[in-house]
């Protein structure tokens, strides 16, 4: 396929590389220049702006950090909306809010283009190895056209139905599970600490039993060690996700009380200086609320 790829951060570069290596004709673009080097060596070409990238592309993939970037790339003068041809597909692989996705979907549709939502599960390492999970949402024929790319990128595809915002919802719901699991671990660890129990003991209980899953093993370790200063994912980014989750729920008239609890702890963590710490620092904030000061 002839593909355009916008957004060459760690995730984007890794995914684009695998697509180029898969034999596709790929033009890349990144707002901040100088990121395309490795991809050009692999055989990609570089466009100097979005409009140029769109020329003769049947599919443009975006992998952008937030909704503002996605809206800019799409709606601004010289953006995807005005530059892509009729019948072209925009596959958005970032984690985006449902309102943004709905707005893009509607705008693309009006000009005869199609939006596919395809957020991914996994960190850059999985992207490099092509073992991401891919959540797809969009019209069946458009998703089908993108299918040849999926084996290059991921280990598994999850079908979120015919609306691109469905894929966002699944990605956000997965983030909700993780964020709240960390918050609840924080509550549980503070409870055992109050009764004089070595946190290491509770770590063993949970990781050796019902909760022997990556989410719990990773974060129970960080909480026991209070290893918040070398973040895998920051509190600030966690708050961004929490806000997207609650906005999606609000737009659908859905109360999410556990999500509120979690967000409040994220806010408290940031208020106490933890914006750039690992988002598991909510466990420290929870302890603080009970007088177990750091």
One of 78, 208, 232, 294 touching its own copies (CB under 8 A)? 208
Site string for its own copies, 65-104 (x = CB under 8 A): ---------------------------------x------
Closest CB 200 distance from its own copies, rounded Å? 9
Catalytic residue set: 171
Site string for its own copies, 257-276 (x = CB under 8 A): xxxxxxxxx-xx-xxxx---
Quick check: 6 and 30 in contact, CB under 8 A?
A: yes
Closest CB 292 distance from its own copies, rounded Å? 8
Quick check: 44 and 12 in contact, CB under 8 A?
A: no
Q: Where in 153-182 is the site for its own copies (CB under 8 A)?
A: 156, 158-163, 165-166, 168-170, 172-174, 176-178, 180-181
CB proximity list for 85: less than 8 A, separation 6 or greater: 54, 56, 57, 113
Closest CB 11 distance from its own copies, rounded Å? 16
CB atoms within 10 A of CB 2: 12
Angle (CA) 25-29-31 rounded to 5° is 170
- How many angstroms separate the CA atoms of 168 and 161, rounded? 11
One of 54, 120, 185, 283 touching its own copies (CB under 8 A)? 185
Q: Is 135 in the site for its own copies (CB under 8 A)?
A: yes
Position of tokens 């750091």? 294
Applying CB under 8 A, the site for its own copies has a residue count of 82
Position of tokens 């994912």? 233
Site string for its own copies, 222-251 (x = CB under 8 A): -----------------x---x-x--xxx-
Secondary structure in 3-state letters for 14-34: HHHHHHHHCCCEEEEECCCCC
- How many angstroms separate the CA atoms of 92 and 98, rounded? 12
Identity of the residue, 59 or 245, whose beta carbon is nearer to its own copies in the bound complex: 245
Identity of the residue, 1 or 247, whose beta carbon is nearer to its own copies in the bound complex: 247
Quick check: 224 and 283 in contact, CB under 8 A?
A: no
Q: Is 109 in the site for its own copies (CB under 8 A)?
A: no
Quick check: 10 and 4 in contact, CB under 8 A?
A: no
One of 63, 121, 143, 244 touching its own copies (CB under 8 A)? 121
One of 106, 112, 254, 294 touching its own copies (CB under 8 A)? 254
Label the pairing between strands 114-117 and 45-46: unpaired
Closest CB 41 distance from its own copies, rounded Å? 33
């Amino acid at each position: 396929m002839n593909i355009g790829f916008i957004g060459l951060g760690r995730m984007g570069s890794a995914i684009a590389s695998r697509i180029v290596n898969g034999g596709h004709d790929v033009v890349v673009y990144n707002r901040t220049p100088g990121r395309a080097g490795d991809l050009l060596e692999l055989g990609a070409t570089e466009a100097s702006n979005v409009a140029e990238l769109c020329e003769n592309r049947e599919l443009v993939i975006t992998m952008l950090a937030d909704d503002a970037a996605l809206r800019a790339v799409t709606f601004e003068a010289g953006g995807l909306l005005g530059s892509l041809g009729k019948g072209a597909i925009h596959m958005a692989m970032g984690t985006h809010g449902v309102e943004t996705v709905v707005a893009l979907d509607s705008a693309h549709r009006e000009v005869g283009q199609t939006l596919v939502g395809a957020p991914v599960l996994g960190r850059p390492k999985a992207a490099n190895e092509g073992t991401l999970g891919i959540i797809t949402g969009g019209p069946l024929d458009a998703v089908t056209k993108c299918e040849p790319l999926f084996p290059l990128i991921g280990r598994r595809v999850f079908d979120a139905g015919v609306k691109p915002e469905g894929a966002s919802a699944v990605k956000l719901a997965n983030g909700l599970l993780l964020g709240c699991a960390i918050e609840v671990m924080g509550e549980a660890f503070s409870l055992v600490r109050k009764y004089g129990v070595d946190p290491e003991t509770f770590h063993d209980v949970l990781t050796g039993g019902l909760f022997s899953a990556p989410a719990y093993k990773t974060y129970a370790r960080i909480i026991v060690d209070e290893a918040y200063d070398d973040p895998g994912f920051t509190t600030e980014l966690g708050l961004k996700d929490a806000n997207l989750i609650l906005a999606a729920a609000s737009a659908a008239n859905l109360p999410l009380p556990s999500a509120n609890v979690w967000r409040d702890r994220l806010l408290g963590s940031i208020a106490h200086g933890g914006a750039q710490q690992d988002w598991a620092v909510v466990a420290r904030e929870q302890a603080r609320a009970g007088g177990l000061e750091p």
